[in-house]
Structure 1
């Protein structure tokens, strides 16, 4: 494929603003942009995303962590850069083992110009172009609205570009840009006008916000006078999808494919996956109680706050950080997979799973009522045999445990 030299690639390897006159943002502006794009994708619950100007594919790394995403596309004009960094769109080794996804993800990286209408990008749910448009020559920039809003017609589109009014804080002279390859750096009014024109022509609504502020900026300066370092436009589709005869025709499949890969996924239902992960976490959280029960030969009460389950990343992803899903799944399958476990709520409203651990008992643990009955039987047995020491019972039954080993294992 012949490289279109009229459209330079956006540099996303590092935040350009961070290297200008020792200006520092916390967190760095590029991370704020990436986080904003990721939040939009998650909140919009999109199934497919295309990132134009993906360059080193760092934004693709963030997008692919959305577990319900079914398709991910990166597009950039720089073939050499994509061949060097396209691997970032591929699954990691552990994803073939753990298989964190319930749905198969199809990831592709294409080399091509945003001015071309490649048929494979039609009907993508979300399009992002992060710090890209300021790198485009006028003839290419003119075609951007047609490609994104006329041809692809995503449900959501996110475009960011530098705020030229913020350049005074970098000590720039009039007309000086932050990067040698920038063709323009619009003011807030110029960017708003461009966005409004796109909306009026293609049937979108837009919300513009500012990203990247300095600590000394006042509220008035942030909201009215200067704004942020970067400005972000969030477009949402207002009109229904067009009929086939009304749609813009594609140019075919002009993009060169650099990466085309299918991610491994787990075919179990989400409920099954949550049940299995919960069982694993419960076994981890009750391990110390099991060791203690074996050591002193007395039942132990293991209390597992639901919030504790969020410390396990895979389970947290499966339940999307919502502990209510743990409670729902438990109530659904309590008599099967979670026999012997109770869900309790303390005076403060904190909910926990409770499990009684019996020494050397491989069967499911009983509830507190069963434990009281077991305790009564043990007292009666010890009275009849005149054995008052639980340590003697433990010793007489040849159930000796190396205390040092137990301590080491409990510590681990």
Structure 2
């Protein structure tokens, strides 16, 4: 993906988080801290926690976060698996997975669902993932993925089937959005699902 698309994706997710009214936010698979840095400066957010399994990326994120100005959100990082529920991460207002699920083996997707939606149960969950239909626009050859570390890339219909199933099984509602471009037939470069737990106000 290009830097322009990456920036657009992050801006879209930050706006979606702000729309939920969340004060506490989890960034699951936070990588080098791109989203954490942006969320830390959003008015109304008081705590941001980034979770990453790759210790080297987590160290890079920690270095970047050292430059945050005082007085913003409280930020913390932790090295942990996304496919295991963590009781100390329960109760967050919103959790984000930005271009993360496609890096997991398909066998781990169900484990992620149980850990996040069944165990930690944040009030809202925001998930983005590549839209496979858009790959030709990016010059990705057929039968190839955008990144060698991707285990899958779903079209919009497949993502929607998965997302609706997750919502139904765990007591959430979900809406879907094309992001990072709007081709009239192919949608955006990425796609976003926004989940709301059933007891949360619309």
TM over 0.5: yes
Considering fraction of residues, name the structure with more helix: 1
Q: Give the structure, 1 or 2, with the largest relative contact order (CA under 8 Å, sep 6 or more).
A: 2
Q: What is the CA-CA distance between 1:82 and the residue it aligns to? A: 0.8
What is the number of residues matched between the two proteins?
200
Q: Following the alignment from structure 1 to structure 2, what is the Cα–Cα distance between the partners of residues 177 and 58?
A: 23
The range that moved more, 120-129 or 138-147, is 138-147
Task: Name the SS for the 1:143 alignment partner.
Answer: helix
Q: Does 1:132 align with 2:104?
A: no
Q: 1:190 — aligned with what? A: 158
2:155 corresponds to 1:155: no
Alpha-carbon distance between aligned partners in 2 of 1:122 and 1:171, rounded to the nearest angstrom:
41
2:50 corresponds in structure 1 to: 74
2:178 equivalent to 1:238: no
> Which ranges in structure 2 are unaligned for 5 or more consecutive residues?
none
CA distance in structure 2 between the aligned counterparts of 1:91 and 1:68, rounded to whole angstroms: 20
Structure 1 segment 41-56 matched on structure 2, within 5 A: 41-56=17-32
TM, length-normalised to structure 1: 0.46
After TM superposition, the structure 1 = structure 2 runs for residues 318-329 of structure 1, keeping only pairs within 5 Å, are none
Tell me the alpha carbon deviations over residues 46-74 of structure 1, each in whole angstroms, 9 at most, x when there is no partner. 11000011010111111011232222100
| 1:98-146 deviation per Cα after TM superposition (whole angstroms, max 9, x unaligned) | x4x5xxx432101111011112110111000000000001222221111
2:24 touches 2:46 (CA, 8 Å); kept in 1?
yes
Counterparts of 1:28 and 1:37, CA distance in 2? 14
Alpha-carbon distance, 1:168 to partner: 1.8
Q: Which residue of 1 aligns with 2:4?
A: 28
**144-153 vs 120-129, which deviates more?**
144-153
Specify every segment of 5 or more residues in structure 1 that has no aligned partner in the other structure, as ranges. 1-16, 19-26, 241-412
User: Aligned-pair distance for 1:185?
Assistant: 0.6
What SS does the aligned partner of 2:43 have?
Answer: coil
**SS of corresponding position for 1:55:** coil
**What does 1:3-402 align with in structure 2 at a 5 Å threshold?**
17-18=1-2, 28-90=4-66, 92=68, 94-95=69-70, 99=71, 101=72, 105-213=73-181, 217=183, 221=184, 225-239=185-199
**C-alpha distance in structure 1 between counterparts of 2:11 and 2:110, whole Å:** 28
Deviation by residue 1:352-400 (Cα, 9 ceiling, x = unmatched): xxxxxxxxxxxxxxxxxxxxxxxxxxxxxxxxxxxxxxxxxxxxxxxxx
Report Cα offsets for 1:159-196 as digits up to 9, x if no partner. Answer: 00000111122343331111011111101000000001
Q: Is the 8 A contact 1:90 1:107 kept in 2?
A: no
The DSSP-based 3-state class of the residue aligned with 1:236 is strand
Counterpart for residue 389 of structure 1: none
